[in-house]
Structure 1
Amino acid sequence: MPSSMTTRLFLKSSSLAGSRLLTGPLILPGQKWILVRGYRPEKKRQIRERGKEQRKTTARKIYETLDLPSPYNIPTKEKIADFHPRYMNRVHMNEDNPHYHEEKTYIFNHRCRLEEGVNQALWLTKSKLMGEGQLPERIQELASRLEMPDMEERVLRSIRKCRQYDTQSKLIPVDRYSYAQNIDFIRLCQLMSGQYPGLLQRAQSDGYYVAGSWHRGDEQIQVRGRSGLLVSSTSPLERLASPEEVAETASHTLPDFYPLAPTIDLLTRNVYKDNHNFSGFYEGSPFPHAHTLFIHDARNWCRNTMQYLNAQGLMFAFANAMSRAKLQYGADAAIDLDEPIVTQSIVSTGVKFAFIQVQLNTLNMNSNDGIKNMVWVDEGNVMYSDHYPVVFRIFKTHGNRHTKPGYIKKMHRRDPDLGCRELDVNVFRKFLACYVNGAA
């Protein structure tokens, strides 16, 4: 046996569970030996070193032979944490936390789904639904007179790019093309800056954070999180309803969900900050006023219905207005605003669009009495007919044609005319009117 080899004998017995290594030469009756061969540790080390030498490139061998400073022996840099120092020490979410409260708060974020949809959001925001499913008259008038050269052709090219050429995948997922569609439509709207110079005083913030808090009766409600893409402006939006129309909302009755509580779908937390209001921008920002919030179908919630996304758009648009009002008038203010705060939200799946307008009229949210806030929701806008053609291939077996489902394979392919069927350009006109609002 070579000197570089080592021999190990394993004892295997039916009476023992498993195998064990024998250190002595004792052999017992009814037992078998298993011979296992292997290299000694020093021989294994030599084999590894020889392999490293064989794998070296010619350039590296030359550097080492001439004793030149090798570029291959680069010292490892010290790893530096790529996150903010304030998040290095995680806090405990228990009673030891300084922000722990015995009373729970109800939180709405991008993961919450309001099963009652917009009606539930109307109660939480103390709002009245206006317009009978249409945009305010000023926005409708603006949409009717906005014109863009080759508008229909530009919209078609935008849809084809987002649905056909954005990736080489066989099928583009909803969360991708819905986001890309919003971005490309914003680019088309910015082409109107020649007619409306106010569009140049806008900024985009993707994944921004907003927080707004208020009380509804005995419950404290907070809306916080990162909802979508925000377009902010240097100046606030003008009011949508006159003071007379605002005064008429005092007689409106909010929807009732008895025996369900309107806060049934919200999260409950004991660790929170009182009156947590943050508009998403620090003091001194050149674009401090929220203009339009764009929410797309990032979680495939609305394949069959958009009620969850519409409620989400309403809640986050209201949080934008509430946070700015609380920072302006104080966290404990419960007054009616002389100059309302207006925000917008556009919710889309890339095919279906909903346009939401919010006018904050009051900070007195505890009681259901008094004037209400106003909300306009224009939903059910379908941009085009969305469907993929299906090609069936029937395979033959033993000379017979089988039409059972097990023998039929569905082959999906991209439709070259996708987005061209039943295109409704008026939906883009509404999109354009919401974006131009405030600059006209």
Structure 2
Amino acid sequence: MAASMLTHSVSAAGLPCARRTGLRCLSVSASRSRKQVQPRQRKEPLEIPGLERITYGDLCYYVPWLARPNFPEWRMDWNPQYYRSPPAQEMALYKEQPSYVFSPKCRLLGGVKQALWLTKSKLLEGLPQRIVNLCEDPAYTFPNYEELVHNAISNACLWSTTDEIREREEYCPKLLQSLLHLCQTQNCTYPSLSQRTFVENWKLATYWHKDSTIYHVRGSNGLLMSAKTPLEPLASSSEIQATEPHVLDSLYPLSPAIDLHEVNVYKYLNDIGFKDGFPYSHPHTVYLTEPCSTRAKCLPDQLRAKMLMIAFGGAAAKARILFGDDVKTLPQPIVVQSVGTDGQLFHFMVLQLNTLDLESNDGIKNIVWMEGDQALYDTVAFKPKMKRKVVLVPAGIAGYKPETFVKFWAMYLNGAV
């Protein structure tokens, strides 16, 4: 019994010790895990004036008792992948005064209101009377156009795929190309239409001053239809003078340059994208499609603002080429059209550039005619959408509106009759 009591006492005395050891091990490991491992920082070599450090740089191999040499930074200048641009302040085109650039990726928060202020323009709702006359005159419509446009919509949205939901980035440009092809089939009827050409990814560069601020329009912009002869002015001289008392809407508290790229490295460049001697040097109509990506998606008002900015940039660049860089009031107004679409809604705009004196808001204004949100159809579906045995969306094309294509055709025909 004494032996058992001795064994019990020893074991009882040993347990607390084991427990204490285990707790100590756990606490040490936990403290080590909580402790953040700091990377070893290399000590800077001590520089003593008048003494030269002896390094192993000339030996080309490591020597532990010699100092580590300071090698110059290696640069691969011949490979563009490893090119590092110098700081902006060291560039040749650096300027202290910043400028603001409108590119195709910009989405103006103020929409058309902001674009009108930047371009010093007056907005008139609806299309010009000349284009309205082309729409209303049945002599300018070609036969069987309703069925042809219906087939173009079906080909872009239904026939070319077996998917139930067609991606807009596929059917939107295809529908625009199909409608332009229908217009090109009338070149035999109207010979003047053969004096035009299309330029894809039209490159544009121009600038102007507004309230002591420099603005630019740069980049590749959609599809341009250019012609050998310019479009005739739509507003008379009396109508141009009538725009002088018009007051531009203020964007306060927003800045007029909101959503524009601010840069300090820029060049005063005026380029319409055509070389000297190009026969089709007059911009006629700019065709734009809404960006299909989620990040670049814009609202209809922002798309119309983009149409106005690009059309103004093309007209301003052409005006400086014709009348010089210092022109203010244009001797002859320049007219540029623009059409924008997201595959269902169409927006039509006509710009008449009357002046490039944009320093102040006084004086005559440029004139903009705009008609937006013109639906070509309501819905397109492979199969009907039903709920409780009620057809919500019918199969095929529903709500087809051929009058929208008539306006598209009138914009295309303008200047040829």
Aligned-pair distance for 1:327? 1.9
Amino acid at match of 1:217: D
| Secondary structure of residue in 2 paired with 1:269 | strand
* Aligned pairs for 1:82-101 within 5 A: 92=86, 94-101=88-95
Contact 2:379 2:399 in 1 (8 A): no
- Which of 331, 344, 351 is 1:338 aligned to? 331
- Which of 127, 141, 148 is 2:133 aligned to? 141
Aligned-pair distance for 1:260? 1.5
Q: Does 1:122 align with 2:116?
A: yes
Distance (Å, rounded) in 1 between the aligned partners of 2:199 and 2:123: 28
Residue aligning to 1:171: 165
* Cα gap change, 1:273 to 1:346, in 2 (>3 Å): same
Distance (Å, rounded) in 1 between the aligned partners of 2:186 and 2:97: 51
Residue aligning to 1:350: 343
Residue aligning to 1:104: 98
* Aligned pairs for 1:250-399 within 5 A: 250-274=244-268, 276-300=269-293, 305-331=299-325, 333-386=326-379, 388=381
| Secondary structure of residue in 1 paired with 2:271 | coil
- Which of 391, 396, 410 is 1:417 aligned to? 396
| Secondary structure of residue in 2 paired with 1:152 | helix
* Cα gap change, 1:161 to 1:342, in 2 (>3 Å): same
- Which of 147, 152, 155 is 2:146 aligned to? 152
Aligned-pair distance for 1:111? 1.0
Amino acid at match of 1:423: Y
Residue aligning to 2:59: none
Residue aligning to 2:206: 212
Residue aligning to 1:427: 404
Aligned-pair distance for 1:305? 3.6
Contact 1:229 1:293 in 2 (8 A): yes
Aligned-pair distance for 1:359? 0.5
Amino acid at match of 1:328: L
Distance (Å, rounded) in 2 between the aligned partners of 1:193 and 1:325: 29
Residue aligning to 2:51: none
Contact 2:199 2:224 in 1 (8 A): yes
Distance (Å, rounded) in 1 between the aligned partners of 2:175 and 2:169: 10
Distance (Å, rounded) in 2 between the aligned partners of 1:90 and 1:289: 40
Which sections of structure 2, spanning at least 5 residues, go unmatched? 1-78, 388-392
Distance (Å, rounded) in 1 between the aligned partners of 2:356 and 2:82: 37
| Secondary structure of residue in 2 paired with 1:251 | coil
Distance (Å, rounded) in 2 between the aligned partners of 1:291 and 1:260: 33
Distance (Å, rounded) in 1 between the aligned partners of 2:309 and 2:153: 28
Aligned-pair distance for 1:383? 0.7
CA offsets 1:148-206 (integer angstroms, 9 cap, x no match): 11011001000000001234544321122111111111111112212211110111111
CA offsets 1:73-126 (integer angstroms, 9 cap, x no match): xxxxxxxxxxxx999988546222211111110111111111121111000000
* Cα gap change, 1:246 to 1:417, in 2 (>3 Å): same
Distance (Å, rounded) in 2 between the aligned partners of 1:98 and 1:415: 62
Amino acid at match of 1:200: S
After TM superposition, the score normalised by the length of structure 2 is: 0.75
Contact 1:175 1:296 in 2 (8 A): no
Aligned-pair distance for 1:436? 0.6
| Secondary structure of residue in 2 paired with 1:250 | coil
Bigger CA radius of gyration: 2
Cα RMSD, aligned residues only:
2.5
Amino acid at match of 2:116: L
Distance (Å, rounded) in 2 between the aligned partners of 1:382 and 1:196: 27
Residue aligning to 1:233: 227
Distance (Å, rounded) in 2 between the aligned partners of 1:210 and 1:86: 26
* Cα gap change, 1:93 to 1:161, in 2 (>3 Å): farther
Contact 1:334 1:365 in 2 (8 A): no
CA offsets 1:119-146 (integer angstroms, 9 cap, x no match): 110000000002xx21000000011122
Distance (Å, rounded) in 2 between the aligned partners of 1:214 and 1:303: 27
Distance (Å, rounded) in 1 between the aligned partners of 2:130 and 2:177: 25
* Cα gap change, 1:372 to 1:304, in 2 (>3 Å): closer
Between the aligned residues of both structures, percent identity stands at 36
Residue aligning to 1:64: none
After TM superposition, the score normalised by the length of structure 1 is: 0.71
Distance (Å, rounded) in 2 between the aligned partners of 1:88 and 1:173: 37
- Which of 161, 180, 184 is 2:178 aligned to? 184
* Cα gap change, 1:120 to 1:289, in 2 (>3 Å): same
Distance (Å, rounded) in 1 between the aligned partners of 2:322 and 2:298: 40
| Secondary structure of residue in 2 paired with 1:172 | coil
Length, aligned pairs only: 331
Contact 1:93 1:271 in 2 (8 A): no
Amino acid at match of 2:156: C
Distance (Å, rounded) in 2 between the aligned partners of 1:364 and 1:354: 28
| Secondary structure of residue in 1 paired with 2:242 | helix
